[in-house]
Structure 1
Amino acid sequence: MGTLNIPIRSWVLALGTFAVGTDAFVVAGFLPEMAAALRVSEAAAGQSVTVFALAYAIGSPIMATLTARLPRRLLLVTALVVLGLANLGSALAPSLPVLIATRVLAALGAAAYTPNAGAVAASLTTPQARARALSIVVGGLTLATALGVPLGNLAAQQLSWRGALALVAVLSLAAAPAVHAVLPEAPGSPAVPLRTRLAVLRHPAVLRVLPLTVLGMGAAYTAYAYSVPALEGVGVRAIGLMLFLYGAGAVAGNMVSGYATDRWGAGHVLTAGYTVMALAMGALAWIAASGAAVPVLAGVLSAAWGASSWCQTPAQQHRLITAAPAEAALVVSLNSSAIYAGIGLGTVLGGLVLASGVAFLYGAAALLATASLAVALSTTRAAATPAGSRSSDR
């Protein structure tokens, strides 16, 4: 397998993760319209987002176990087909219970696809380029972060919310034959019971990585889940532009992270990322508390916020795969679970402090980012050994 083909495969795999990410984020763009159509409150309709995240977080390691023996190409193609059909079901759902059921099915398809796409991308390249391949695949998710909500809102305005979900289904089903065309045959892994697989959690290096994913994503999403009131609280009127800048920063941060991790190591990338996040959140808290209206600065800080949020994932995945290469798909799936757990943590914390004011919202995010920085520094030091001066955590 020549290295010239690796970017092509990685980009096609990223098309699938873009479909997964769009599916996860798109509902926020048309939640009021969906609630009205299903004759439920917006809070009730929002449970479809919660259910998707919960099913993904729990289902990811379970799906890694149940699908272990399937050939990788067959698994990835089947997962995209399931994702597409589930979204068609969501688009046609006549009631909230049916919608919830189809969202669970979509989450299981997503949980089967994303971790294995990352593991396959890593296996098709050299160790020196592994983080870059991972960053391309994760880039599909970060691009969906940038475009998912505005695209969902635009599609809902032009086609209705059902049409928007149908477009996600088409995207998923279109990605399936593309993945089949570019991936070589690759065998699955031996069947291993879930309890045995989860024994990897006793690995000290894995235990260092996963809690940091939860904490870091919690810091990133404390304010993002409430981005509209949060941005209005710092004097921003062009909310769409600020969300675009956040997304552009997320894409750039993810791609730079892949290169930087290969070049300088995951520890340096995470230290820089959490430092930037803490400073950006702290500056936004100061702007909100002072009542100043500085939209240009807010735009720069929004881009830094996005970049620091999504520079975490390639570095963290690289640390996990290096720590447990024989269980690459499983540890990446556990990291995906940790990402969604962190998003849930951040969303809950943000909801609790939002009533106290936007300054407290950003302040809570800054505190979590600072805590993430402290954990990153301590785990990097713990990973450094006299015999391991070229550790992936260096």
Structure 2
Amino acid sequence: MPPPPPPSTAGLRPAAVLALGTFAVGTDAFVTAGFLPAMADALHVSTAAAGQSVSLFAAVYALVSPLLAVATARLPRRTLLLGALLLLTAANALSALAPTYEVLLAGRVLAALGAAAFTPTAGATAAALARADSRGRALAVVIGGLTVATALGVPLGQLAAVGLGWRAALGAVAVLSALGALAIHLTLPQLPGTEPVPLRSRVAALRRPGVLAVLPLTALGMAACYVPYSYSVPVLAAVGVSGRVAVPVALALYGAGAVAGNLLAGRWTDRIGPVRVLTVGYAAMAVSFAALAALAAGQLRSHVAVGVLAFLWGASSWCQTPAQQHRLLTAAPEQASLVVSLNSSAIYLGIGAGTALGGLALPSGAAAVFALAAVLACGAAGCLRATAVRGRASATST
């Protein structure tokens, strides 16, 4: 990767362009939650089965991301980023036109390949172009594309499913991906590729204490978020939020929280450190899920309370990524591209696992779904404490 620019904001400008691409990727990944029941009805499958298309996307992403990083290492970065978004465009067009559930799954596999090629490359490029003291902010800007997608993509997807149908919503994602490719083509400078990192070296990186301590936490924390997220329409209905207006508003509040949590986490990670940011995030996550479980199990209904909790849910979910990536880059600064790609795989492993667990818990009711998410959030807090202590001990010994 090219050396960091001289002291200026130059490193954040490419990050903003790359964020448009991650917005397209994020919209593709998250928009399904807004119309999952409608898609399930159209394809004659259960809501839980339709939700497994999210798990398939996540599993393919996690498995192929390291392989694609090796296979595409020598490609110029702009060429790789363009190709990934064009593949995402074609995949969403196929999903929008899918006549059967099986064709939809094929489209999700192709979309996962495009996302797996784009997101790690975008994150590593932004980190390389940013100054050391603004790396957290650059990562937050790129990941901000994903969080803005949760703020806009999911509620708009739900509105599109009601007004135009879920196929039109996926067609809009295809157009958005094409626009992201055009923006990168017009604005991102030519960047050289790198020497490929063999899979053997990637496995060796996993054995480094600093890396090994962080990646399982990424997967666990994202699993906690996605136990209820992919089934947000039915679980929100269980706490009294349903209809053409209330559901998009609740999802928009979740997305607004996600944007705020991500941006604040990037700034505060640079100021107070990632462990403190994550500690607050996991505590807030556990509290919000426990409160939603109580609302789902009881008779009390309050749109205001659900709105506040949805905002807290989004903020605590997406405060994780800048802090976790910062921990990895500190642990292995000479392998920035490698550890960012491994973290992306861990994110999508968590998304797939959380969606699968949520599908298993859904027949037991929304309270069970939220309670399971709260338990996983508490587990993430315990894992953070253990890995932070281990990391301090390792640093002292060296």
Same structural fold, with TM-score higher than 0.5 when normalized by the shorter chain = yes
User: 2: CA distance between counterparts of 1:35 and 1:224?
Assistant: 16
What is the match of residue 264 of structure 1?
272
1:83-94 → structure 2 map (5 Å cutoff): 83-94=88-99
| Shift in CA distance, 93/262, structure 1 to aligned 2, threshold 3 Å | same
Question: Quick one: which of 326, 334, 338 aligns to 1:318?
Answer: 326
Q: State the partner residue of 2:309.
A: 301
Q: 1:35 Cα shift?
A: 5.1
Structure 2 distance, partners of 1:348, 1:91, is 23
| Pair 1:98 & 2:103 matched | yes
- For residues 268-312 of structure 1, give each alpha carbon's deviation from its aligned partner in whole angstroms, at most 9, with x where no partner exists: 100110111112222223333442223322221111111001100
Q: Which runs of 4+ in 1 moved over 6 A?
A: 386-389
Alignment partner for residue 113 of structure 2, among 104, 108, 111? 108
The residue number in structure 2 matching 1:167 is 172
C-alpha change, 1:229 and 1:159, in structure 2 (3 Å) is closer
| Identity between Structure 1 and Structure 2 (%) | 60
Match of 2:23 in 1: 18
Distance 1:284 1:96 in 2: 32
Structure 2: which amino acid aligns with 1:197? Answer: R
Q: 1:206 aligns with which of 207, 211, 227?
A: 211
Partner residue in 2 for 1:376: 384
CA distance in 2 between partners of 1:239 and 1:340 (Å): 25
Judging changes above 3 Å, is the alpha-carbon distance between structure 1 residues 212 and 162 closer, same or farther for their aligned structure 2 residues?
same
The AA in structure 1 aligned to 2:138 is A
| 1:65–1:197 CA contact under 8 A, matched in 2 | no
Counterpart of 2:92 in structure 1: which amino acid?
A: N
Give the equivalent residue in structure 2 for 1:127.
132
Give the deviation of 1:62 after TM superposition.
1.2
Q: Distance in 1 between matches of 2:117 and 2:253?
A: 30
Q: Which residue of 2 aligns with 1:232?
A: 237
Aligned to 2:354: 346
**Residue identity matched to 1:300:** V
Which of 143, 150, 171 in structure 1 is aligned with 2:148? 143
1:249 corresponds to: 257
1:115, distance to aligned residue in structure 2 (A): 0.8
Deviation of the 1:95 alpha carbon: 4.0
Letter matched to residue 206 of structure 2 = L
Report the CA distance between 1:266 and its aligned residue. Answer: 0.6
Higher mean C-alpha deviation, range 279-288 or range 167-176:
279-288
1:337 equivalent in structure 2:
345
Judged with a 3 Å threshold, the aligned counterparts in structure 2 of structure 1 residues 169 and 357 are, in CA distance, closer, same or farther, namely closer
Say whether residues 1:9 and 2:14 are aligned partners.
yes
Aligned-pair CA distance for 1:14: 0.7
Measured in 2, the distance between the counterparts of 1:129 and 1:118 equals 14
Q: Deviations 1:357-392 (Å, cap 9, x if unpaired)?
A: 433332222221111111112211222259679x9x
* Counterpart AA for 1:126: R
How far did 1:94 drift?
A: 4.3
Q: Shift in Å at residue 15 of structure 1?
A: 0.6
Deviation at 1:47, TM superposition (A): 4.5
SS, match of residue 5 in structure 1: coil
Deviations 1:107-148 (A, max 9, x none): 111100001101101111111110111111111111112222
Amino acid aligned to 1:183:
L
User: Is contact 2:74-2:193 (8 Å) kept?
Assistant: yes
Question: Partners of 1:211 and 1:313 in 2: how far apart?
Answer: 13
Distance 2:225 2:52 in 1: 21
CA contact (8 A) 1:217 1:342 kept: yes
Query: Does the 8 Å CA contact 1:279/1:366 hold for their aligned counterparts?
Result: yes
- d(CA) in 2 for partners of 1:230, 1:164: 22
Question: Tell me, what secondary structure is at the counterpart of 1:191?
Answer: coil
| Farther-moved stretch of structure 1 (130-139 vs 231-240) | 231-240
Contact kept, 8 Å, 2:34 with 2:232, in 1: the verdict is no
Q: Distance in 2 between matches of 1:135 and 1:177?
A: 22
Structure 1: state its 5+ residue gaps. none
1:323 to partner: Cα distance: 1.6
* 6-15 vs 233-242, greater mean Cα deviation: 233-242
CA contact (8 A) 2:52 2:355 kept: no
| 3-state DSSP of counterpart to 1:375 | helix
Farther off after superposition, 306-315 or 21-30: 21-30
- Greater shift, 264-273 or 237-246, is seen at 237-246
- Cα distance between partner residues in 2 of 1:260 and 1:359: 33
Aligned partner of 2:299 in structure 1 is 291
When residues 388 and 255 of structure 1 are mapped into structure 2, their CA distance, relative to the original with a 3 A threshold, is farther
8 Å contact kept, 2:48–2:359: no
Point out the more displaced range, 153-162 or 13-22: 153-162
Moved more, 267-276 or 223-232: 223-232
